[in-house]
Structure 1
Amino acid sequence: MIETRGLSKTFTSGAEAVRGVDLSVSAGEIVGFLGPNGAGKTTTMRMLTTLLTPTSGTATVAGRDLLRDPAGVRRRIGYVAQNSTLNPVNPLAEELELQVMLYGFRRAEARARIARVMASLELTGLESSAAMTLSGGQKRRFDLAFGLIHDPALLFLDEPTTGLDPQSRANLWKHVRTLRDQGLTVFLTTHYLDEADALCDRVIIIDRGAVVAEGAPAELKTGGRTLDEVFLDLTGRSLREDVPA
């Protein structure tokens, strides 16, 4: 579902943010992408979602060539940013309907898709609500609805549970697992090592622009180590230092 070779990004300032990253993500996986601030994970995700153009390297995302067919990539992926982009005052079902129709679906199909996604995310009954009236967990599930409404093959989640209370985090984890069980591939960044441990089939750790380790959480935690200890050994500091207050 994702295959990169030598993916790199150097900005015009000369800063080398990503240095020859090789990634391989199979269909149906939940893969966590971990790294301290400045490690290159956000830049990598922005390249994979066509928001940044790589300086060098190759990538295939959701079966489309990242450089030759970025529009094809965008049609086949969903992207949920770290910060919510919901309109605070408009009815969210209207916003979702517009989103679906921008993908070329007619109004009747758009409404059918909205009903399905709302039901799957336990949002039925909130169609006329505005984002400003919702709880943090409800807002995050609506963010997820916007990323899923066109039935993508691959979903990118950028720190999906930052700022949520434990119950809302657990609820979102449940929905992400259900999506994986339905065949969706999920690629997420997180600053919560317990989240990566509990949710991800595999984790990839990046530091200073390069991948330094990857594997299932249980494979990385050899010798009774915790994922925190593994991360500290590989990067020189705990990821918990980067968790927003």
Structure 2
Amino acid sequence: MESAVSVSGLVKKYGDVHAVCGVDLEIRAGEVYAILGPNGAGKSSTVEILEGHRDRDAGEVSVLGVDPRKPTRHWRARMGIVLQSARDLPEITVREAVRHFASFFHRPRNPDETMELVGLTEKADTRIPRLSGGQRRRLDVALAVVGDPELLFLDEPTTGFDPEARQQFWGLIRGLAGTTVVLTTHYLDEAEALADRVAVIAGGRIVAEGDPRTLGGRAIAKATVSWADGEIQTDTPAKEVVELVTRYGGEVPELRVTRPTLEDVYLKLIEENA
């Protein structure tokens, strides 16, 4: 599949500190790619280099076929960016803001359709300072996608959201079919819900990459079978459950069968690469 982003040997230093130490990655066109890592791991520097907001010290980078060191107006128009903090906008309505941003592009999305896409049609005539936090975040996305970008960067998009707002936002992102999305988040359930692939960065390096369902051997890891009187780890959980049912003569009290979560795998990777 065609690559939207291609990175080889990326290095970024701040004085004597190596923030990014030889990162390689390929992001396929049309996929949602999540970059995970603790604060200071190098993920923000990596993404800022991809966006063209920060220079690199070494390595090769191609974003939509262009080196971010040599940005053009046309190249920037092909991307949308949702920053962690909201844009500072004047006291205008949602409709006025979306139409204004649409005017910057040669072939934008229809502003009314864009507001509908992000669930702001009923708030179209509401002034921006009167929006709730979740509605304001939806507006940020509307302004990022009204130019119909091929590539969308989302930096911690649901920080501070309540559970219902996060679920709604996830539905919005799932609705952007065909758009390549690069997501940074501290919420592991968000990465698992949205991403086709994830990369874990620790110490400036990618220490694991793949499908969130199988990352770090999740799919083949031993299962934990627990019940009221005990717990075991096993490769054959179904067999153990049958034996427990036989032992108890029916219902097994407080029976649970689990495998490592993405959070379990992530924390183990970070610990091993600290």
Please report the TM-score for the alignment, with normalisation by the length of structure 1: 0.88
Question: What is aligned with 1:241?
Answer: none
Amino acid at match of 1:34: L
Q: Which residue of 1 aligns with 2:92?
A: 90
Report the more deviating stretch, 76-85 or 95-104: 95-104
Higher relative contact order (CA 8 A, sep 6+): 1
Q: Which residue of 2 aligns with 1:242?
A: none
Q: Which runs of structure 2 are paired with 1:169-188 in the superposition (5 Å)?
A: 169-179=166-176, 182-188=177-183
1:195 corresponds to 2:190: yes
Q: Any unmatched runs of 5+ in structure 1? A: 238-245
Which amino acid is 1:135 matched to? S
Which amino acid counterpart does residue 195 of structure 1 have in structure 2?
E
Q: Is 1:77 equivalent to 2:79 in the alignment?
A: yes
SS of 1:125's partner is helix
Q: Deviations over 1:187-231 (max 9, x none)?
A: 100101111112211110001111100000111123121111211
Distance 1:8 1:24 in 2: 16
- 1:27 paired residue number: 29
Deviation at 1:72, TM superposition (A): 4.3
Q: CA deviation at 1:98?
A: 2.5
Distance 1:190 1:50 in 2: 20
State the alpha-carbon separation in 2 of the partners of residues 88 and 191 from structure 1.
Answer: 30
CA distance in 1, matches of 2:152, 2:66: 15
Correspondent of 2:146 among 146, 149, 154: 149
How many pairs align?
229
Q: How many angstroms apart in 1 are the aligned matches of 2:74 and 2:208?
A: 30
TM-score by structure 2 length? Answer: 0.79
Structure label with greater radius of gyration: 2
* Matching of residue 101 in structure 1 with residue 98 in structure 2: no
Tell me which of 157, 161, 165 is aligned to 1:160. 157
Aligned to 1:236: 271
Name the SS for the 1:152 alignment partner: coil
Cα RMSD for the two superposed structures: 1.7
Q: Is the 8 A contact 1:32 1:187 kept in 2?
A: yes
- In structure 2, the residue corresponding to 1:60 is in which secondary structure? strand
Q: After superposition, what is the alpha-carbon deviation per residue over 1:152-211, rounded to whole angstroms, capped at 9, x for unaligned?
A: 0010000111101111100010010111xx211111001011111122111100011111
Structure 2 gaps of 5+ residues are 222-258
1:9 touches 1:19 (CA, 8 Å); kept in 2?
yes
| In 2: Cα distance, 1:144 partner to 1:41 partner | 21
Matches of 1:21 and 1:135, distance apart in 2: 38
User: How far apart, in 2, do the equivalents of 1:70 and 1:54 lie?
Assistant: 18
* AA matched with 1:90: I
Query: Are 1:227 and 2:262 counterparts?
Result: yes
Q: Which residue of 1 is the match for residue 68 of structure 2? A: 66
Identity of aligned residues (%): 41
Aligned-pair distance for 1:101? 2.2
In structure 1, give the amino acid aligned to 2:64.
Answer: A
Deviation at 1:97, TM superposition (A): 2.5
Letter in 2 for 1:228: E
2:58 to 34, 56, 59: 56
Which of 4, 9, 13 lines up with 2:7 in the alignment?
4
Say if 2:52 and 2:71, in contact at 8 Å, map to a contact too: no
| Greater fraction helix | 1
SS in 1 for 2:56: coil
Secondary structure, aligned partner of 2:24:
strand
